[in-house]
Amino acid sequence: MLAEERRQRLSAAMHEAGIDCMVLYGNAWQGDYLRYGADFGILEGHGLALVSAAGEVELFLDSATDAERAEIEAPGVRVHFAAPIAPAVGARLDRMANARLAAAPRRFLPRWLTDTARGFALTDATALVDRLLMHKSPAEVAAVRRAARLADEAYVEFIRAVRPGRRQYEIVADIEAYLRGRGCPDNFMIIGSGGKDVLGMAPPSERRIAAGDLVTTELTPAVQGYFAQICRTLVVGKANEAQRRAFAVYVEALEAGIAAVRPGARAADVAKAENDVFRKHNLGDYTTSQWTRVRGHAMGLFADSKPHILEDVETVLEPGMTLIVHPNTYHPDAGYIVLGDALVVTETGAEVFCQTPRELFEVAA
Amino acid sequence: MRRGLIARSPTELPDAVFDARLDRLRAAMRADHLDALIVYTNNTLPAGVSWLAGFVPYWSEALLVVPLSGAPYLVAALSFRVKSWIEQVSRLGDVLHTPRIGLKAAQQIAATQPAAAVGIVDFDGLSAGIADDLREGGPGLVLRDASMIFENLRARADPAEIALATRAAEIAHRALAAAQGASLNAMLAKAESTARELGAEEIYLAAAPDLERQTHFIRVEGEAALGKSFALRATVAYKGAWVRLVRAFCESTVAQEAAAQFARAATLLPSARGFSGFQSWLIEGCRMAQPLDALLGSRLTSASPLPPGALVSAQGVLAIDGRTVLVGAPVLLGQSGEAASLLVDPSFD
């Protein structure tokens, strides 16, 4: 059981750090810390899990609907509906005031719990949990691998769904339905369509697909809470020469980034390998934060986990880290282009999970 | 993370609606001697900022700053590249981008009024990191909780919000009506695509796959076996308005009787006496930023008052002729002396 394995790893880390009770915060945006300890995928409101060093878990939720769901979906966890949540958790922590208490991510906790007027103090254990989140066990890696396979399959559906005249949100509806039909309840997905006027991706809009559009997507389904991402770009109609030339830069950058992935390399090395390709093609300006957010990131219980792949991130890569390398950015001759593959860091380099060809797909105009 | 249609509609949410809400808010701020008000948003807690500015973050977080005079502005952790998207889907004076939204918001307020009185909606629930940054960015600012002010304004739905919630309820009904197929996942897929094609901003689908064994709704991952009777629940958002609707799949006479009993109970709200015959029941509605807060229910140890004119979603468990059935729908509470009304028919046959 993944949940039990995670709880044992957390307990071991808490013992080593001298922590008696860990408070894990989560919401539907940033739910990975909570899910790690409580194995609950929160959808509504705030959640706080109290995990003892012995591995016992109490889960406080301020959504009655989610609390009801947790009673079934999180077996072995004592669930409390508590609104407002902070005083309820505070009352529980008051009874443990002499214990060594920690929290992750501490900066996300409701302010009330960190107020100096409280009778307990919560040290920041974010880095401790971050290490656990980053270094996946073989079972966790297997879940990411299955999610990546699902991402590949969903991208085939995406290619089918893109047709001139359809609106962006109708395309996303097809993909969400496809994933639902496969028993996958969670996905992160953004989309872009158009030409050189498009600077990035966003949630789906009412914009209609037109001949000549570049259509970009990040598709990120989850399996047992573990996300895996694929990024691809297609053209509606035949790709023109400028689009083909531009896309070749991204293929080269992605290959360079993946080649830089190996144990001991830093996240910065991967980003530099990708960006050097753009610099070589006199596109260095488009590797800055004005045009691109990150050159990849880790994936796991959160779709956008640490470390981010950027030239100033010193995190050292180790076997078991699951990442996406994606040199997504704007190209002045073609518009916004995305290309990225999910992978795991192995003992010798990287195992790429995504099987979808790295090509500029074309659909009928 | 949100992945439905997020779009601004000048017909469904005209500027005048936002202006009227801001006018009411500013009158309350003046009465409470506040120079500015801050509302937090992320995709879990979107309902405060969407009500004031139409903005719903698909991920990440932001603070809306409402000065006593001048246009509200957003301080967002989303990157600069989505500035134009935010401006397209929202009504804002400006959007500022920074990873430390508390620091920037406080600096902006303090730049013109270093000792401003700043109200914060749900200050106790605000992230500790943001609260620390607010103090760092504006050491002279007087920060205090403004939950009551906002809750009082937010409680009664205005006509625009009622129209949006009614549309959300229609989408939910059509999604659940479309839920057909050989397996539970096939049914969920139909409901999902129907809601999203109708422009839902979000849909959360849950199932109680076998009512003879369990009445709790779960989010289905993988495949779940269906019992003879089961239920689906759609939680739908449409342009910031959230509703829940339940469809029971059971003998039609049982489903019809459940819907009738539910309708009688719901229209008696805010009195909960109509739910006395239910095995369990829950009333949810928006108080501040969480779209559907638990307000009243058989399992709740404390109750929040149901204000006249509020939009709520009710759901319950009934036993009819020895069979367990789930039912639920959104309800508009009447003004003083008026009956409540259902936003959509809770029956499907």
pLDDT at B295: 95
Contact B59 A29 (CB under 8 A): yes
pLDDT for A10 equals 98
Q: Which of A109, A33, A105 is nearest to A300 (CA)?
A: A33
Residues of A with Cβ-Cβ distance to B1 under 8 angstroms? 28-29, 188, 303
ipTM over 0.85: yes
Cβ separation A29–B217 shorter than 8 A = no
User: What is the pLDDT, as a whole number, of residue A61?
Assistant: 98
Distance CA A197, CA A264 (A): 40
- Directed axis angle between helix B128-137 and helix B101-112, to 10°? 30
Cβ–Cβ gap B284/A68 under 8 Å: no
CB A61 within 8 A of CB A80: yes
From A83-87, B7-11, B79-83, B312-316, the region with the lowest mean pLDDT? B79-83
Q: Which residues of B touch A114 (CB under 8 A)?
A: 128
pLDDT, tens only, B238-249: 999 999 999 999
Mean pLDDT of chain B: 96
Measured CA to CA, the distance from residue A110 to residue B208 in angstroms comes to: 32
pLDDT beyond 90 at B85? yes
CA distance B314 to chain A (A): 11
Whole-angstrom distance, CA of residue A287 vs CA of residue A272: 10
pLDDT over threshold 80, residue B189: yes
Check CB contact under 8 Å for A43 and B294. no
CA end-to-end span of chain A, whole Å? 48
CA nearest to B285 within chain A: A63
Q: How confident is the model at residue B302 (pLDDT cuts 50, 70, 90)?
A: confident
**CA dist list (Å): A33 to A39, A107, A351, A352:** 9, 12, 26, 26
Please list every residue in chain B whose beta carbon sits closer than 8 Å to the beta carbon of residue A194: none
Element spanning A226, H or E: strand A226-227
> DSSP assignment, residue A340?
B
- Whole-number percent of chain B with pLDDT over 70: 100
Contact call for residues B258 and B185 (beta carbons, < 8 A): no
Beta strands B117-120 and B142-145: pairing type?
A: parallel
The answer to whether the CB atoms of B81 and A189 lie below 8 A apart is: no
Which chain B residue lies closest to A199 (C-alpha atoms)?
Answer: B81
User: CA B285, CA B155: separation in Å to the nearest integer?
Assistant: 9
CB contact under 8 A, A111 and B81: no
pLDDT at B336: 83
Q: Look at chain B and count its residues.
A: 349
Per-residue pLDDT at A63 exceeds 80? yes
Please report residues of A whose CB lies closer than 8 A to that of B223: 183
Residue with tokens 């080269």: A252
The alpha-carbon gap from B263 to the nearest alpha carbon of chain A, in Å, equals 21
The pair of three-digit structure tokens given for residue B237, joined into one six-digit string: 């958002």
**Calpha distance A85→A61 (Å, rounded):** 7
User: Cα separation of A243 and A160, whole Å?
Assistant: 21
Q: Per DSSP, what are the bridge partners of residue B67?
A: B36
pLDDT in tens, B133-167: 999 999 999 999 999 999 999 999 999 999 999 99
Phi-psi region at A149: left, alpha or beta (left = phi > 0; alpha = psi -120 to 50): alpha
Q: How far is CA B294 from the centre of its chain?
A: 11
Average pLDDT for A195-205 = 93
Residue B197 pLDDT > 90, yes or no?
Answer: yes
Location of structure tokens 């770009």 = A233
With beta carbons under 8 A apart, name residues in chain B contacting A27: 42, 44-45
pLDDT average, residue stretch A150-155: 98
Pairing of strands A296-298, A322-325: antiparallel
Q: Mutate which of B6, B12, B45, B81 to disrupt the A interface (most A C-beta within 10 Å)?
A: B81
A84 preceded by a cis bond (ω within 30 of 0): yes
Indicate yes or no: CB of A200 within 8 angstroms of CB of B128: no
pLDDT-based confidence at residue B349 (cuts at 50, 70, 90): confident
Provide the β-strand partners of residue B205: B234
Of all residues in chain A, the one with the smallest CA distance to B3 is A203
pLDDT score of B342 more than 90: yes
pLDDT, chain A, mean? 97
Per-residue pLDDT for A97 more than 80? Answer: no
For residue A296, what are the β-bridge partners?
Answer: A325
In chain A, residues with a C-beta closer than 8 Å to the C-beta of B218 are 69, 72-73
Residue B2 — pLDDT band, cuts 50, 70, 90?
Answer: confident
**What percent of chain A has pLDDT above 90?**
98
Residue contact B185–A183, C-beta within 8 A? yes
Is the Cβ–Cβ distance between A304 and B1 less than 8 Å? no
CB A105, CB A305: distance < 8 Å: no
| Contact criterion met (CB < 8 Å) for A112 and B124 | yes
Contact B44 A109 (CB under 8 A): no
pLDDT digits (tens, 9 = 90+) for B198-242: 999 999 999 999 999 999 999 999 989 999 999 999 999 999 999
Nearest to A257 by CA among A321, A131, A135, A349: A349
Tokens of B150: 């906002």
Q: In which band, very low, low, confident or very high, does the pLDDT at A1 lie, cut at 50, 70 and 90?
A: confident
Q: Which helix (H) or strand (E) holds B177?
A: helix B159-177
Query: What tokens appear for A107 in the block?
Result: 């900066």
Q: DSSP letter at B260?
A: H
Among B42, B85, B222, select the one facing A183 at the smallest CB separation. B222
Report the candidate in A231, A229, A211 with the shortest Cα–Cα distance to residue A221: A229
Contact A20, A101 (CB under 8 A): yes
Per-residue pLDDT at B38: 98
Q: Given the structure tokens 């009227």, which residue do they identify?
A: B20
Distance from CA of B170 to the nearest CA of A (A): 17
Smallest CA–CA distance, residue A349 to chain B, in Å, is: 31
Helix locations, A74-125, DSSP H: 85-94, 111-114
pTM above 0.95, yes or no: yes
In the beta sheet, which residues pair with residue B207?
Answer: B218, B232
Mean pLDDT of B107-132: 97
- How much is the pLDDT for B274? 96
Best of A44, A146, A220 to mutate (most B CBs within 10 Å, chain B)? A44
- Strand partners of residue B41: B62
Q: What is the pLDDT of residue B301?
A: 86
Residues in chain A within 8 Å Cβ distance of B42: 27, 29
Across chain B, the runs of DSSP E, i.e. the strands, are 36-42, 61-67, 73-76, 94-97, 117-120, 142-145, 202-208, 230-238, 241-249, 280-285, 293-297, 311-320, 323-332, 341-342
